[in-house]
A and B are shown apart, each in its own frame.
Chain A
Amino acid sequence: MQRIGVFVCHCGSNIAATVDVKKVVEMMKKEPGVCHAEDYPYMCSEAGQMKILEAVKEHHLTGVVVCSCSPRMHEATFRKAAERAGLNPYMVEIANIREHCSWIHKDMEEATEKAVILARAAVAKVNLNTPLQAGESRVTKRALVIGGGIAGIQTAIDIADAGYEVDIVEKTPSIGGRMSQLDKTFPTLDCSACILTPKMVEAAAHEKINIYTYSEVDKVTGFVGDFTVDIRKKARSVNSDKCTGCGVCQEKCPSKKSLNEFNRGLNTRSAIYTPFAQAIPNVPVIDRDACIKFKTGKCGVCEKVCQAGAIDYAQQDEIITEKYGAIVVATGFDTIKLDNYDEYAYNQSKDVITSLELERIMNAAGPTKGHLERLSDGKAPKEMVFIQCVGSRCSDNRGKSYCSKICCMYTAKHAMLIRDKYPDVNVTVFYIDVRTPGKNFDEFYRRAVEEYGVNYVKGQVGKVAPLPNGKLLVQGSDLLDNKQILKEADMVVLATAIEPEASVRKIATMLTASIDTNNFLTEAHPKLRPVESPTAGVFLSGVCQGPKDIPETVAQAGAAAVKAIGLLAKDKLTTNPCTAKPDELLCNGCSQCANVCPYGAITYLDKEVNDHGIRETRRIAQVNSALCQGCGACTVTCPSGAMDLQGFSNRQIIAEVDAICR
């Protein structure tokens, strides 16, 4: 029989206001195995933990139940306290009477009754607990960063600066990401390329950083400290070691009709291409779907003009397998498709563009060489309309429920830049709310209004209709003046909602990292662990976790790097001791458990057993506790009931069921 101590936490008034803690204490004293019960305002405080230490000594406790907040919050705290008192840490169980009881129930009698039952279940479990020893696993001192935008680059540089090897995997032919597509950045209006390119060069030149561009993550196995990752290096059709980046192949390539992804499809590129001039690596890629050589077998112009002999049509995808201790996801974002928003005429008129497209138009390397002009007829616009919240803050299934966060600021930036460069252009911004929290952000927006004369109208646009004269009729609300505005515009710019890059879903599944309904990766705790995934060893950097601007992305990238470094700096990790354990006498060696084990942790051994006096050699399951993650799939599969899970044994769970149903 165990000697159990029960400790009921008030959590200030969080628990005590709804649960009669004194009554819980009284009721617990009657439970079998309980020889001590008390309550305390804050069990997690140092003084609260001392209560456990004292009670263990005084009452010679062998098990502890703490009735408090969620075990996800303080289970580790109380296990450590028990360890300090000389108990095995796995002799502690938590009854979650805050999140699962006091916070969701209003009636005191009802909540107290539930708290008693939850505590009773925990006591019943502890009665059957056995001391467990945590094992150790090694840490591979190498990090993988998925995504080579500003988030991935910053994370990689920070980890590499701490002395660890880092690999960046980027699926496009160059690192740089969305930031490389931007023209200027708010609120300082410095040129995006001017601040990004040095970072790209720094990453590429760093001796600890290895960059795989035009590559994707194919497969991830293993766990924290010991991931094994297959990286698919897609065939570039160009030998990176030989290519000098002279660019002649791109000039001479006869297939020039492919949409230029980097310019958001606003112009075309050759079949052999580098996405932009400052690309790193400066090695082109052959787009095999567009290349005449690959389609018809005749052409080969690039091969003929390449002095370095770098063109290699026979190149194949290459799979690289590498081990990592930590993985950082930095997959970034894209703008949403506007197919559901016919009212803005995006698909009907070339002069209705997204803000990211305007960014390319304003850029000197963009499709119009930086001249602001209508894409339909090349004329300079006189009247421009910006529409905010296109697809953001929508709860109607057409768009996204969240605020995309960056649009208010980049629209102020665009409006300001246009008014500055083309003072004769009238700029009207239709907004629902202007949200500019951030250092120097509101001042920036006010400058757009006060110094640059941008016309901000409170109200949404209902309809944009192309007119026969080539202009666009914008029909919007002015809610402050209570009138409907009809305006003929030359160009309309849509502040399109952003969403996580589509590939993130596949990556999250491979990493078993949780993802929310909007495809943003979930953080381990929304406030206290914002850059960690709940999956150990996986960290989040940049917009893959939620909408962010550049400074926030860089800050979070640094934070993710620190968390990864903290992991890589460890030589050994303690492993979860709640692993599967077979009963050798019951096991009949049928292999069913090995079939369901996702980690290949189960092997078989011919072993001599003594079954009630009968000595014989049997085929028996063996669990590698370093590989076993403790899911318990094998325990249910086992037809003879030989397999059990330590810490969550059949008897323990049944005891909980019984206590609840009593």
Chain B
Amino acid sequence: MSHRNYAEKIKEISGVNPYKCMKCGKCSATCPSYSEMDIKPHQFVSYVQSGEIEALAASKSLWKCLSCFACVERCPRDVKPGKLIDAARQLVVRERGGDYLSADEIPALLDEELPQQLLVSAFRRYKR
């Protein structure tokens, strides 16, 4: 997949239109993990806009986002940066192979290193 396609994929998974962003920075102003992130939430939106997905995929922000969705809640333009981060994270996880797991497989795979937020956000996404 080209970089463009990755960006499209992220938009598709998240259902977010990054062009609605008016660059007010409220997402970054709201973010409780801001200091831990290398790419800040508002930058995430412009990275997806410009298709710089490699940097995003390599960013540690993916694993620092708490999926608290404060940015989603407070964004005045309905851009939902948190959902973009979620989508990018999901993309990276899928790239590593094996999109879906059966419930039986999970216990064996759980380890200390597994980021808690991944479970939380997966639960949020698939709870229905």
Q: Do chains A and B touch in the complex (CB under 8 A)?
A: yes
- A residues neighboring B (CB under 8 Å): 343, 389, 393-399, 432, 458-463, 475-479, 482, 484-485
B28–A389 CB distance below 8 A: no
Q: Which of B5-41 contact A (CB under 8 A)?
A: 20, 22-31, 34-35, 40
Closest residue of chain A to B34 (Cβ to Cβ) is A484
A462–B77 CB distance below 8 A: no
Instruction: Tell whether A460 pairs with B78 under 8 Å between CB atoms, given A395-B20, A479-B42, A484-B34.
Output: no
Determine, out of B55-63, B68-76, B83-91, B118-126, the stretch whose residues face the partner at the interface: B68-76
A395–B77 CB distance below 8 A: yes
Chain B neighbourhood of A394, CB < 8 A: 76-77
Q: What CA separation (Å) do A461 and B28 show in the bound complex?
A: 9
- B residues neighboring A (CB under 8 Å): 20, 22-31, 34-35, 40, 42-43, 70-71, 74-78
A479–B76 CB distance below 8 A: no
Chain A neighbourhood of B26, CB < 8 A: 460-462, 477
B77–A459 CB distance below 8 A: no
Closest residue of chain B to A485 (Cβ to Cβ) is B29
A343–B77 CB distance below 8 A: no
Chain A neighbourhood of B71, CB < 8 A: 462
B22–A432 CB distance below 8 A: yes
Instruction: Tell whether A389 pairs with B20 under 8 Å between CB atoms, given A462-B30, A484-B31.
Output: no
The contact sample of 24 A-B pairs, CB cut-off 8 A, is A343-B74, A393-B76, A395-B20, A395-B76, A395-B78, A396-B77, A396-B78, A398-B76, A399-B76, A432-B23, A459-B28, A459-B29, A460-B25, A460-B76, A462-B26, A462-B70, A463-B70, A475-B29, A477-B28, A477-B29, A478-B25, A482-B43, A484-B28, A484-B31
Q: What CA separation (Å) do A78 and B43 show in the bound complex?
A: 56
B29–A462 CB distance below 8 A: yes
Residue of A477, A482, A485 contacting most chain B CB atoms (<10 Å): A477
Q: What CA separation (Å) do A399 and B70 show in the bound complex?
A: 17
B24–A484 CB distance below 8 A: no
Q: How far is the CB of A342 from chain B (nearest CB, A)?
A: 10
Chain B contact residues, majority secondary structure: helix
Q: What CA separation (Å) do A394 and B73 show in the bound complex?
A: 12
Q: How far is the CB of B60 from chain A (nearest CB, A)?
A: 16
Chain A neighbourhood of B24, CB < 8 A: 389, 393, 432, 459-460, 477
Closest residue of chain A to B29 (Cβ to Cβ) is A462
Chain B neighbourhood of A343, CB < 8 A: 30, 74
A476–B77 CB distance below 8 A: no
Chain A neighbourhood of B22, CB < 8 A: 393, 432
A462's partner among B20, B23, B31, B78 (CB-CB below 8 A) is B31
Residue of B20, B23, B25, B34 contacting most chain A CB atoms (<10 Å): B25
Query: Contacts A462-B71, A479-B25, A482-B43 given; 10 further ones with Cβ under 8 A?
Result: A393-B24, A459-B25, A459-B29, A460-B76, A462-B28, A475-B30, A477-B25, A477-B26, A477-B28, A479-B42
Q: What CA separation (Å) do A460 and B31 show in the bound complex?
A: 12
Residue of B22, B26, B77, B78 contacting most chain A CB atoms (<10 Å): B26
Chain B neighbourhood of A463, CB < 8 A: 29-30, 70
A484's partner among B23, B29, B76 (CB-CB below 8 A) is B29
Q: How far is the CB of A518 from chain B (nearest CB, A)?
A: 16
Q: How far is the CB of A555 from chain B (nearest CB, A)?
A: 29
Chain A neighbourhood of B76, CB < 8 A: 389, 393-396, 398-399, 460
Closest residue of chain A to B75 (Cβ to Cβ) is A396
Q: Which 3 A-B pairs have CB atoms at the shortest separation, nearest pair first?
A: A462-B30, A462-B29, A477-B25
Chain A neighbourhood of B20, CB < 8 A: 395
Chain A neighbourhood of B77, CB < 8 A: 393-396
B70–A484 CB distance below 8 A: no
Q: What CA separation (Å) do A482 and B120 show in the bound complex?
A: 28
Closest residue of chain B to A399 (Cβ to Cβ) is B76
B27–A479 CB distance below 8 A: no
Q: What CA separation (Å) do A67 and B34 show in the bound complex?
A: 61
Residue of A394, A399, A460, A476 contacting most chain B CB atoms (<10 Å): A460
Chain A neighbourhood of B78, CB < 8 A: 395-397
Q: What CA separation (Å) do A393 and B78 show in the bound complex?
A: 11
Q: What CA separation (Å) do A462 and B25 show in the bound complex?
A: 8
B29's partner among A389, A393, A460 (CB-CB below 8 A) is A460
B28's partner among A393, A399, A479 (CB-CB below 8 A) is A479
Chain A neighbourhood of B27, CB < 8 A: 462
B23's partner among A475, A479, A482 (CB-CB below 8 A) is A479
Chain B neighbourhood of A396, CB < 8 A: 75-78
Chain B neighbourhood of A476, CB < 8 A: 25, 29
A484–B75 CB distance below 8 A: no
Residue of B20, B74, B77 contacting most chain A CB atoms (<10 Å): B74
Closest residue of chain B to A431 (Cβ to Cβ) is B24
Chain B neighbourhood of A479, CB < 8 A: 23, 25, 28, 42
Chain B neighbourhood of A399, CB < 8 A: 76
Q: How far is the CB of A289 from chain B (nearest CB, A)?
A: 37
Q: How far is the CB of B34 from chain A (nearest CB, A)?
A: 4
Chain A neighbourhood of B70, CB < 8 A: 462-463
